[in-house]
C-alpha cells in the first residue's frame, strides 16, 4: 500500500490524464490540485511512483501517465463510486419497457444504452441457448403440408422452425401436442430430457409417432445448437473519439481483433463463470489485440441464473468510476427485465 501523499499524487495523475489525455507534470499537479506540498516534493514522489511501476514516461521530457499497474491500484483502492442520477436510472428503466417481445431487440437496446452512456464500445453476449430450459411450445399449420414450431426458452430466446406436416393431422391434434409438450418439457434443459419423459409424452399423445419424433428432434436441435449464442456490438465508432486511437496502426490492431467473433466471445464469456463485475486492464486481457484497452464485464441473470454478459471496451484511460456504475446498473435493469417477462 502507498502512503497517503503518494496516493493523492497518483490519483491526481490518473484523474488529470483521464480528463485530458495529456501526460501530467508536477507543475500541473501543483497548480490544479491542492495537495499542500511543493512542486519539488511532487517531483520526488512521482519519481518513486515511477520506480514502483505505477506511472511511466511516454517519451523524453514529457510528464507521466498511469501504467496498467497504476490503473489497477486506482481501481482497487482509490476509485470512488460514481453517482447515477435518479433521472438517468428512470430513463434506463423506461427504455427497457418500450419493446420486449423480441429478445434480440432487448439485447441490442442494452448495447445502445451502454455505448451512449459511456462513449465506449458495448459488447453484449446473448443468452446461452444450449443451456436454456423450455418455457413454451406451440405448433400450427401454415399450409396443407407445412407446419410451424415455435419454441420459447426461459432466457427469452424465441426460435421457430418449419417442418413437414401430414394432411391427416388436425388443428386440434396440433393444439393437444403443443399443450402436452409444454407441460412435460417446461423447465427442462436438453440434458434432462430422459427416456421416461419421452415415454410419458408418447403415452399422452395418440398421434403418429413419426411426426412426434420429428418434432422432438427439432426441439433437441434448437436446444443443442451451440452457435446460437450471438455477440452484439454497439458504438464501435466511439473508439475514434479517443486520442489514443488516432494512431492508425493501433486502431487497425483493435478493429482486426473485433472482427474475430470467436475471440471476442471468449473474451467476454469468461464472466459467465464469475459473480459480480470484473475489470481487466490493458495487458490483463488475454488477447494482444486489446492490450491498449480495458474491459468491464458483468453477467446478467434470468431468475438468478447467469445466461449472458454485458461489457464496455474502451482505452485504458477510460473513466472507470462512471463506466462501472453504468455497467452495474444496466446489467441489473436487464436482469430484472428478462426475469419479469421471460420467467
238 and 337 part of one domain: yes
Please state the domain count of the chain: 3
Q: Which of 309, 339, 342 is nearest to 327 (CA)?
A: 309
Task: Write out pLDDT tens, residues 161-181.
Answer: 888 888 888 888 888 888 888
pLDDT, residue 160, reads: 77
Residue 306 backbone dihedrals phi, psi, to 5 degrees: -65, 125
* C-alpha span between 341 and 74 (Å, rounded): 39
Lowest mean pLDDT segment, chosen from 5-19, 83-97, 146-160 = 146-160
- Provide mean pLDDT across the span 245-268: 91
User: What CATH number should be reported for the domain holding residue 296?
Assistant: 3.30.450.40
Take residue 163 and report the three cell numbers written for it. 417442418
141 and 43 part of one domain: no
Q: Which domain holds residue 205?
A: 130-227
Lowest mean pLDDT segment, chosen from 135-139, 200-204, 249-253, 319-323 = 200-204
55: left (phi over 0), alpha (psi -120 to 50) or beta: beta
325 and 233 part of one domain: yes
14 and 134 part of one domain: no
User: What CATH number should be reported for the domain holding residue 58?
Assistant: 1.10.10.10
216 and 153 part of one domain: yes
- Provide mean pLDDT across the span 138-146: 86
Lowest mean pLDDT segment, chosen from 120-134, 198-212, 252-266, 326-340 = 198-212
pLDDT, residue 21, reads: 94
253 and 122 part of one domain: yes
189 and 264 part of one domain: no
> Which has more pLDDT, 268 or 203?
268
98 and 239 part of one domain: yes
220 and 244 part of one domain: no
Task: Write out pLDDT tens, residues 215-230.
Answer: 888 877 776 654 457 8
Final residue of a structural domain among 178, 202, 227: 227
User: What CATH number should be reported for the domain holding residue 198?
Assistant: 3.30.390.60
Is residue 343 over pLDDT 60?
A: no
245 and 118 part of one domain: yes
**Whole-prediction pTM:** 0.77
Q: How confident is the model at residue 34 (pLDDT cuts 50, 70, 90)?
A: confident
Q: How confident is the model at residue 156 (pLDDT cuts 50, 70, 90)?
A: low
pLDDT, residue 226, reads: 45
pLDDT, residue 52, reads: 97
143 and 217 part of one domain: yes
282 and 317 part of one domain: yes
Amino acid at each position: 500500500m502507498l502512503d497517503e501523499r503518494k496516493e493523492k499524487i497518483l490519483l491526481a495523475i490518473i484523474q488529470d490524464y483521464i480528463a485530458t489525455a495529456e501526460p501530467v507534470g508536477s507543475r500541473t499537479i501543483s497548480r490544479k490540485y491542492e495537495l499542500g506540498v511543493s512542486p519539488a516534493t511532487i517531483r520526488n514522489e512521482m519519481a518513486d511512483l515511477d520506480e514502483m511501476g505505477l506511472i511511466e514516461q511516454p517519451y523524453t521530457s514529457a510528464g507521466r501517465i498511469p501504467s496498467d499497474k497504476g490503473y489497477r491500484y486506482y481501481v482497487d483502492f482509490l476509485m470512488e463510486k460514481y453517482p447515477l442520477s435518479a433521472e438517468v436510472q428512470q430513463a434506463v428503466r423506461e427504455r427497457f419497457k418500450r419493446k420486449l417481445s423480441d429478445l434480440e431487440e432487448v439485447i441490442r437496446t442494452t448495447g445502445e444504452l451502454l455505448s451512449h452512456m459511456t462513449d465506449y464500445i458495448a459488447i453484449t453476449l446473448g443468452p446461452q441457448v444450449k443451456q436454456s430450459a423450455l418455457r413454451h411450445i406451440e405448433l400450427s399449420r401454415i399450409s396443407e403440408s407445412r407446419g410451424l414450431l415455435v419454441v420459447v426458452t426461459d432466457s427469452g430466446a424465441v426460435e421457430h422452425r418449419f417442418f413437414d406436416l401430414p394432411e391427416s393431422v388436425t388443428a386440434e391434434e396440433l393444439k393437444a401436442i403443443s399443450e402436452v409438450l409444454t407441460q412435460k418439457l417446461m423447465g427442462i434443459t436438453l440434458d434432462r430430457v430422459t427416456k421416461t419423459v419421452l415415454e410419458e409424452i408418447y403415452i399422452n399423445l395418440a398421434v403418429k409417432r413419426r411426426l412426434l419424433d420429428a418434432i422432438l428432434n427439432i426441439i433437441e436441435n434448437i436446444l443443442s445448437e451451440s452457435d446460437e449464442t450471438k455477440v452484439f456490438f454497439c458504438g464501435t465508432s466511439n473508439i475514434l473519439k479517443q486520442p489514443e486511437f488516432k494512431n492508425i496502426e493501433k486502431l487497425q490492431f483493435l478493429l482486426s481483433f473485433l472482427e474475430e467473433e470467436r475471440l471476442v466471445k471468449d473474451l467476454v464469456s469468461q464472466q459467465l463463470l464469475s459473480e459480480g463485475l470484473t475489470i481487466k486492464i490493458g495487458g490483463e486481457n488475454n488477447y494482444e489485440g486489446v492490450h491498449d484497452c480495458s474491459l468491464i464485464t458483468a453477467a446478467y441473470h434470468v431468475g438468478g441464473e447467469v445466461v449472458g454478459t454485458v461489457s464496455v471496451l474502451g482505452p485504458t484511460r477510460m473513466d472507470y468510476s462512471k463506466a462501472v456504475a453504468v455497467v452495474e446498473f444496466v446489467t441489473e435493469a436487464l436482469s430484472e427485465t428478462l426475469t419479469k417477462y421471460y420467467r
